[in-house]
Structure 1
């Protein structure tokens, strides 16, 4: 009887195993009023910290009192290496506007200035895929109220959106 009670108690606990999801979202929006592309990328804080610490042999200590003073430079260096964007068949360089922490997410704010109306947006996104093979990067773009999406992964890290 004791074995049955223990089994009935433990069995439900075993069915709720933790599964970590590796998903990052990048929102891309063309702003006609400023002729700019504004981007917000959100990534799990612990994942990006692990990737940058390993890639650049450092210890970021994100969101602690010991956070590196050059953390924004390292974030931007990592993003430039792993997130590339081409507008109307021309590769563009974006500016790192800043970052924000909310819970276990870090939000990166990026901008490309002086952009003509996008007819095509080509994205290459390898954020975190070197360290997390199951990483998936969702891209959502809006141009003149038209929304399109891409779902990128380690097997398929490039995509084209036509508007």
Structure 2
């Protein structure tokens, strides 16, 4: 009988530990950077959990911005654009580039944010500063995937590491 009680107790402790571990939040974003040689542009998509993005926007702007159902879509677009441009920087072939915000969309619990850099004739080197959500989540990790001329490269930056350089 004691053996059965011990097994039951161990099972309950094990399940409780698993539930706590499962419920523990994780903070990750995924940024894809693709060079479109035909159109001579860099196409960027950032995948952020929308609730994490809302926290970051509130901390940056001081106001709550509902990205799913914004009261004013232009205000939400502007805030997201400023936030990403402040926290994601690109240098192509040793030249700093301005990111143009194209827009965003919500898919389930994720905000897909789209940006681009035009007039890129060739890509030999990309230097990236990616500190998306770092200020708001100390355990944030940012995964980056790049594709240039059918060459794929990836890396992961864990807060506080912000920079990565890729050569093609």
TM-score for both structures, normalised by structure 2: 0.89
In 1, Cα distance between equivalents of 2:13 and 2:157: 37
Structure 2 partner of 1:142: 147
Per the TM alignment, residue 8 of structure 1 is displaced from its structure 2 partner at its CA by 5.7
| 2:157 counterpart of 1:152 | yes
Structure 1 or 2: more helix by fraction: 2
Structure 1 partner of 2:17: 15
In 2, Cα distance between equivalents of 1:61 and 1:13: 36
Displaced runs of 4+ in structure 1, greater than 3 A?
A: 4-10, 66-69
What aligned pairs does 1:33-112 form with structure 2 within 5 A after superposition? 33-64=38-69, 67-69=71-73, 70-112=75-117
What aligned pairs does 1:17-32 form with structure 2 within 5 A after superposition? 17=20, 18-32=23-37
C-alpha root-mean-square deviation of aligned residues, in Å? 1.9
Q: Which moved more, 1:39-48 or 1:66-75?
A: 66-75
Distance 1:8 1:156, change over 3 A: closer
Number of residue pairs the alignment of both structures matches: 162
Decide whether the 8 Å contact of 2:134 with 2:160 is kept in 1.
no
In 2, Cα distance between equivalents of 1:145 and 1:117: 13
Per the TM alignment, residue 132 of structure 1 is displaced from its structure 2 partner at its CA by 0.5
Per the TM alignment, residue 52 of structure 1 is displaced from its structure 2 partner at its CA by 0.8
In 1, Cα distance between equivalents of 2:146 and 2:111: 20
What are structure 2's unaligned runs of at least 5 residues? none
